[in-house]
Structure 1
Amino acid sequence: MKGIKLHFPQNKFASSGRILFITALIIGLFIIIVKPVVAGINDDRYDGNIFVVYAGNGSLIPPAQTLEETLARHKPAILTFYVDNSSNCKQYAIVVSQLQEFYGRAAEIIPINVDAIPQKESFKLTEAGYYYSGGVPQVVVFDQAGKVVFNKNGQVPYEDIDDKLRVVFNLLPREESVTLKRRSFNEFSSELTP
């Protein structure tokens, strides 16, 4: 069996032509053989931590405190259950970031990757796994006394959570207060903000 034999003329341009040909051949083979991995906000592929990639907010991960520590300090808490390879969670990451922007100093935001919840028969009331209902995203809001005041699955609108937090912090209802405007902190997240 004979192989393919390429013949290049021998002159001063032959070596540069050969290099260009080989480079084009390698690039062509690379494009055909290696398909680039493409993940996005609307698919269920993993492409990094959702809060870093889609909300532009790496300060949420890892959480500053556990639920147990937060409840012991009588501080309101917002648990958010998520997975990094869920389009619903990717899209919801910006809402969690908004919650941190407006309530991050007064309440503890605790994102919990459900893949990291230990597999065990039962949980204590101070463990995040106790409140996980099996779907993502899920938001659970605790008041200062550690009582659950809000618990919903799905892409819960920011306003629904804000209404509960206004009660927790004894703030005016939205319709009676000044509308707060969000500052954009990067191009990607400002495009996703509703």
Structure 2
Amino acid sequence: MNQAKKSFKELIHGDKPVLVDFYADWCGPCKQQAPILKQLTERVGDKIRVVKIDVDKAQAAANQYQIRSIPTMILFKDGKIVWRQSGVQPLHTLEGLAKQFGG
């Protein structure tokens, strides 16, 4: 378990911004968000990294970041939260974040 936490911590302290999607397989809005995230990665390439975290499998991470509703997205830059929002996010909003924080 500590190794998983360490890996996540290392990931969010990486050289590029990391958009973390906290989701669950049974969540309807999360299923709506998935193709939007796929489009985002196709459009912005490697400006940001997108990571999906299943709250049912990673309850410690969900608790650590006080995830109360899903989907919740958190954008980390240099290990710090620079943006956080719950609910389905439109592509243009996420693209704007990639441009703003991804260079």
* TM-score of the two chains, using structure 2 as the length reference: 0.77
Tell me the TM-score normalised to structure 1 length: 0.44
Aligned-partner Cα distance in 1 for 2:29–2:48: 24
Decide which of 13, 17, 31 is 1:90's aligned counterpart.
Answer: 31
Larger Rg: 1
Higher relative helix content: 2
Give the count of matched residue pairs: 97
1:162 and 2:95 are equivalent in the alignment: yes
The alpha carbon displacement at 1:136 in A equals 0.7
Aligned partners of 1:159 and 1:114: how far apart in 2? 25
- CA deviations 1:29-74 (Å, max 9, x no partner) are xxxxxxxxxxxxxxxxxxxxxxxxxxxxxxxxxxxxx432223433
Deviation readout 1:89-130 (Å, 9 max, x if unpaired): 1111111112222335232211000101235xxxxxxx5642
Does 1:100 pair with 2:41?
Answer: yes
Partner of 1:113: 54
Task: Name the amino acid aligned to 1:77.
Answer: V
1:130 corresponds to which residue? 64
Gaps of 5+ in 1: 1-65, 120-126, 171-194
The CA distance in 1 between the partners of 2:30 and 2:85, in whole Å, is 14
1:139 aligns with 2:73: yes
> Which amino acid in structure 2 is aligned with residue 102 of structure 1?
R
Task: Percent identity, please.
Answer: 27
- CA RMSD of superposed structures (Å): 2.0
Aligned partners of 2:9 and 2:79 also within 8 Å: no
**Which amino acid in 2 is paired with 1:153?**
S
Amino acid at match of 1:136: I
Could you list the structure 1 runs, at least 4 aligned residues long, displaced by more than 4 angstroms after superposition: none
- 2:83 alignment partner AA: F
From 81, 86, 99, give the equivalent of 1:153: 86
Task: Name the CA shift for 1:160/1:101 in 2 (closer, same or farther; >3 Å).
Answer: same
Q: For 1:128 and 1:67, how far apart are their aligned partners in 2?
A: 12
Q: Distance in 2 between matches of 1:159 and 1:166?
A: 10
The 3-state SS of whatever aligns with 1:151 is strand
